[in-house]
Structure 1
């Protein structure tokens, strides 16, 4: 590959540390290589803050779609979700429209959905728990709901969790969201707020997501990642993780597997 040299192995046979003069050319040269992800860090590896989306990033589902299945309205809700994640709809309006379709659903259905439907994406727990052990502050910021994000965040090992609150009255969902909406602007502001609170530099922050609602946050981070992402985010992120589990990001940060905290 022109302008590239192997400076060493992070994980022999699995993760190589390359020095390249042109990241775009290197990505183009590797495009189509089965199972290969190119993670470029032009600003170094001193990451001290990690901010992540939840749905379809840390977990394999869109929780609102799965919850809607119990209400018998999954096709309608999933269609709105997909369009919102592609950036075709205003997120706040799309969220309110979807939540309205859940009116009357028993609150107990949330716990049932969490138990029966929600699964972690491969490497999520290993990534976050290892980052914590390496002294990185972690934040899960979701356009989904606290009823899912809080137990998921605890399971994975995040330091903090922020998400929307589903309004409940008399043991059923009212079809409304309570309080502020965690949209793209909120996610970006959350990253900036934690960065300033921790007195970190721009290059010490990393963010990951999969859809349009994550775009400002990912662009604001010193190192912005797209995970199995919609085109609008994949085109703008510093790097894409399309083939490997989330734990592969630890290789990108120069952390070999013998230092990983193995989890889900």
Structure 2
């Protein structure tokens, strides 16, 4: 069939009843809906369908699920396996906002986190918000960066996402409005092929409170997606982008599969696909990978 609807839940939480209810909902709207193909037992299943647009299938699935902790991603069945991944870092590939955590060592975490929240929801200009937050860190010793890194945890499913896509020939790039101190470490830990982010300026072992130019912002993330795709001779339809904040929205919209991952409402409402319940393995199931295909870093 022309389209496929992928249902994904936290491990063990996808029931046959939920899958059957979604299939019935598609059929009730006049769609042809094939038999479910289980990608992972009790976790992920594909429902092939025709006769509805992907957006209609998404909406029908969410109504049928009645608030269950199940994510639904509908798309064309052709070309679902992507050859380029661009991923945001903070609150996407790692579980925290590293700048907010760093600010804790300067005693200004709540103040910085408040600005971060407003920037990620699109209330503030990202460049201005970044400059303001970093200024509050002036004089902080470099050792605080190391301590922040030691406390940084990887998002569940991130290692499998990168390892599996890499093993199947995709290029994986970490692109962040955060800082190279963290992105280079995350990229090395998880196996990203490249990383791009901002650079904190340091003098005499302490942060100056300034960021090197040019600042990587929303426009730069979109440019990175286009540049990396062009560099591999790929159409944007062959790309996957994932993020959670307003500065990710342009690259998420432009990618062939753009995913809002546990995202701010402004991003979740505008992105073509969203993952709110499952971990980052959902992005593999959305591409048709089966549980036995998933590589472990």
Task: Say whether the fold is shared (TM-score over 0.5).
Answer: yes
Post-superposition shift, 1:7?
5.1
Counterparts of 2:99 and 2:123 in 1: how far apart (Å)? Answer: 18
**Residue of structure 1 aligned with 2:61, choices 30, 37, 41:** 30
Counterparts of 1:223 and 1:100 in 2: how far apart (Å)? Answer: 36
Aligned pairs for 1:1-264 (under 5 A) are 1=25, 2=27, 3=31, 4-6=33-35, 8-20=37-49, 21-31=52-62, 32-42=66-76, 44-116=79-151, 118-263=152-297
Deviates more, 1:13-22 or 1:78-87: 13-22
Counterparts of 1:14 and 1:125 in 2: how far apart (Å)? Answer: 18
Q: Which stretches in structure 2 are left out of the alignment for 5+ residues? A: 1-24
Figure out how many residues of one structure are paired with residues of the other and give that number. Answer: 262
Contact 2:58–2:74 (8 Å) recurs in 1 = no
Q: SS where residue 29 of structure 1 aligns? A: helix
Deviates more, 1:42-51 or 1:183-192: 42-51
Q: Report which structure shows greater RCO (CA 8 Å, sep ≥6).
A: 1
Q: Which stretches in structure 1 are left out of the alignment for 5+ residues? A: none
Contact 1:40–1:238 (8 Å) recurs in 2 = no
Counterparts of 2:230 and 2:105 in 1: how far apart (Å)? Answer: 41
Q: SS where residue 74 of structure 2 aligns? A: coil
Counterparts of 1:14 and 1:107 in 2: how far apart (Å)? Answer: 43
Structure label with greater radius of gyration: 2
Counterparts of 2:260 and 2:135 in 1: how far apart (Å)? Answer: 30
